[in-house]
Amino acid sequence: MPTSLPVASKRCRSSLNGLRVQRGAGLIEVLVAVVILSIGLLGISFVQARALSNNNSSMGRSMAVVASYSILEAMRVDRDNAIAAALPYNGTVVANNCPTDVSTLANAQLSAWCVELRNRFSAVSTTTGTVNCNTTGICTITIQFDDSRGGAGLGTSTAEQVITRSAL
Q: How many structural domains does the chain have?
A: 1
Strands 159-167 and 128-133, by their bridges, are unpaired
The domain in which residue 146 lies consists of 4-167
How far is it, in rounded angstroms, from Cα 79 to Cα 139? 11
pTM over 0.85: no
| H helices present in the chain, as ranges | 4-77, 79-82, 105-120
Q: What is the DSSP letter of 150?
A: G
| pLDDT tens for each residue of 97-148 | 888 888 888 889 999 999 999 998 887 888 999 999 888 889 999 999 988 7
More confident site: 2 or 154:
2
Nearest to 129 by CA among 164, 83, 88: 164
